[in-house]
Structure 1
Amino acid sequence: MRKWARRLGKIVVFGVLAIALLIGAGAIYEQASIRNDMKSYTPSGKLYKVHGENMHVYTGGQGDVTVVMVSGWGTASPYVDFSPLYERLAPHVKFAVYDRFGYGYSDTTDKKRDIDTITDEIHDALKAAGQKPPYLLAAHSLGALETIRYAQKYPDEVQGIVMIDGGSPEYYNIDSEALQSSFLNTLLIKTGVIRMLYQSDGVIESSRATRNGLKYVPDDLIRIDQIASMLTLDNANIKGEFQQAQTNAKIVLDAKQPFSFPLTILTADYFGVSEELWTKSQAAFTSWSLQPKQIVVKDAEHYVHQYQPDLVAEEILSLAKR
């Protein structure tokens, strides 16, 4: 009996040591991979000091109007995500794509992700980058909240807004399950397990499925997107935005007053399987402007600009010409 007990004890000890070695090796692999990624992960635009941290803004194009592109929640690289749009817009208008803190090439910040802080950061980043209004704001998903708040705080700088399947403040002003980072999830990230999974073609394809497989994105930018996705895993700023969404939506709602400028709502048809609550909220979103317009975009999912970039660019340019 004692022999079995000693043998079992040895097995447990060796098992614990083996697990510890695997975790240690995984952590070393993850850190080495991050260092290797950072060697090639250089800003595509420029970094500007905003509220004590570096914020990335990528600009280009020509014209009198500047289209400011506002990414959705969790979109690791706005620079990559909006590439199908700014390539089509550049010959006609100027554009600016910014990375909120915690995204893309921008630093992270310790400041709370409340809507007014985020909006002020955007305003100061555009100013630091030498951008001048009037702005035409093009916002995707949760980016709708900071876009509307920007227009509320700086109405004289906004010529119009295009929502790219952007959620209304009414939609976000509902109870939502808080985004939590479990110990297991953090462990899988820190020990390189998630990174190793992303070496599988199947996992990569699955992760890009809602973005149309990045069909309209060049291969070199797809590589940047993959690096950004790895570097922003378990990001506190990104999680903070989600956790603040309802509170931020209420702040925007409390200041509601229909805008005098045009507001175009581009709503994905989700290939015929859209949620009823989302569909109704999109139709009601037109109440935010005295010059509203809604278009249901066929054959598209949430990242409409990855499915129908020509249509989205056309609607943006139609407002830019006003």
Structure 2
Amino acid sequence: MLIEPSHSDSKKTKASQDSKVKRVLKLLLKVIASILIVILLFIATVFTVNQVSSHSEQKRLEHYGQQVSVDGKRMNVFMQGEGKETIVILPGFGTASPALDFKPLISELSPYYKVVVVEPFGYGLSEQTDKERSSANITHEIHSALQSLGIKRYTLMAHSISGLYSLDYVNRYADEVQAFIGLDHSVPSLSEQKVEASDIEPIKWFRNLGFARVQLKLTDDPYEGLSYDDDTREQLNILIRKNMYNNTQLNEAVSMYSNFHAAKQLTWPSDLPVLFFVQKNHPVVKEWVAEHEKQMTNAKQGEMVLLEAGHYLYRSHPKEIAEKIKEFTEKIATD
């Protein structure tokens, strides 16, 4: 014979269950609140450490080069060497300090050439700008800096994305550029992925909260084991933390896709001597060498040097590159 529980017993059971649920919920809320507090404390710590460290680093930052006025803002230009011929160097995307980054190559070239390193807006010690980062604007700014320094005849040497800007540059100022030297430079046929303006907003939050510094702590030093002295490496690391993900460079990333598209209409002038240094085995793009070869199709005087190196081949092979440049420019002079 089954005995059904009384109504009062059911109420007690339900009340007990409700009490357990409430205790569990209360415990969960405490755990969630504790986790949120820990996260907020971590974010606050990262933010504070970044602010204090950035302030300290600015005091240790050593200035170099000279500032020139371009469109009402200050652009930094570094020059070394007293040679009769001038080589103007343009950096790849995001290079924290072009003048210091190219230091090993500059040291190899400066005994024979006047070497000029232009630090575009948002790079090195140059100011930032809100102006659109189109190839036309960037080349205009670089040209204005050179004009203000009285530099009117030169060889243009560009790394990575600056190779794309150089295509625009040599077609605008063909009477000034004697030759072009590419350092594993970008080609229009191998475009970067499109970046929307909305894509960079989370990156700004990431930067502003100080997490870019954490990111750098977790990555290898790109200058480890290379021919950079300790003082230069320290200054480079200060400028990496100063310029990483700044607004000017993020805007450049947004403009990059359209800059690649615009460059597809351009070619190197047939009478412009060109010398390409290209990594022999690109880790991702199989067509890397072939597409650079296509760029030389119309060049009357063109040469490509394949190096067993990574994208920043001028860091690892400065002497080899400088020797080839000297041979190349001497050949141009005698032709």
TM-score, normalised on structure 2? Answer: 0.84
Partner of 2:300: 290
Matched, 1:305 2:323: no
Asked if structure 2 preserves the Cα contact closer than 8 Å seen for 1:262 and 1:292, the reply is yes
Change (3 A) 1:118 1:59: same
- Equivalent residues of 2:82, 2:113 under 8 A apart: yes
Kindly indicate whether residue 83 of structure 2 is the aligned counterpart of residue 67 of structure 1.
no
Q: Secondary structure at the match of 1:310?
A: helix
2:195 counterpart residue number: 178
Report the RMSD for the aligned CA atoms in angstroms. 2.3
Whole-Å Cα distance in 1 between the matches of residues 245 and 283 of structure 2? 30
| SS of aligned partner of 1:313 | helix
What is the aligned partner in structure 2 of residue 195 from structure 1? 213
Structure 1 residues 249 and 198: CA distance shift in structure 2, 3 A = closer
Deviation at 1:165, TM superposition (A): 0.9
Secondary structure of the corresponding residue to residue 160 of structure 1: strand
Alpha-carbon separation, structure 2, partners of 1:214 and 1:135: 32
Aligned residue in 2 for 1:22: 42
- Verify: 1:250 aligned to 2:261, yes or no: yes
Per the TM alignment, residue 27 of structure 1 is displaced from its structure 2 partner at its CA by 1.2
TM-score by length of 1: 0.87
Hey, what does 2:290 align to over in structure 1? 280
- Counterpart amino acid of residue 159 in structure 1: Q
Provide closer, same or farther for how the CA distance between residues 281 and 58 of structure 1 changes in structure 2, counting only shifts above 3 A. same
In 1, Cα distance between equivalents of 2:183 and 2:265? 23
Question: For residue 14 of structure 2, what is the aligned residue in structure 1?
Answer: none
Equivalences for residues 1-322 of structure 1 within 5 A: 1=19, 2-128=22-148, 130-172=149-191, 176-178=193-195, 180-181=199-200, 183=202, 185-196=203-214, 198-199=216-217, 203-205=219-221, 208=222, 213=224, 215-256=226-267, 258-270=269-281, 275-287=285-297, 289-297=299-307, 299-321=308-330, 322=333
Shift of 1:257: 5.7
C-alpha distance in structure 2 between counterparts of 1:234 and 1:309, whole Å: 28
Q: 1:256 deviation in Å?
A: 3.2
| CA-CA distance at 1:110 after TM superposition | 0.2
Contact 1:265 1:285 (C-alpha < 8 Å) held by counterparts: no
Q: Provide the rounded CA distance (Å) in 1 between the counterparts of 2:193 and 2:212.
A: 26
Q: Secondary structure at the match of 2:272?
A: strand
Number of positions where the alignment pairs a residue of Structure 1 with one of Structure 2:
309
Could you tell me which runs of 5 or more consecutive residues in structure 2 were left unpaired when the two chains were aligned: 1-18
- SS of the residue corresponding to residue 29 of structure 1 reads helix
Change (3 A) 1:244 1:308: same
Contact 2:184-2:277 at 8 Å conserved across structures: yes
In our comparison, the structure showing a higher alpha carbon Rg is 2
In 2, the alpha carbon distance for the partners of 1:93 and 1:259 equals: 25
The CA deviation at 1:214 is 5.6
- Compare relative contact order (CA 8 Å, sep 6+) and give the higher one, 1 or 2: 1
Deviation for aligned residue 1:58: 0.5
Corresponding letter in the other structure for 1:238:
Q
Q: Could you list the runs of 4 or more consecutive aligned residues of structure 1 that deviate by over 6 angstroms after TM superposition?
A: none
1:163-208 deviation per Cα after TM superposition (whole angstroms, max 9, x unaligned)? 1111222333xx624273463x5554333344245446xx234xx1
d(CA) in 1 for partners of 2:236, 2:250: 19
Q: Matched residues in 1 for 2:52 and 2:317: separation?
A: 38
Question: Partners in 2 of 1:18 and 1:93 — Cα distance?
Answer: 57
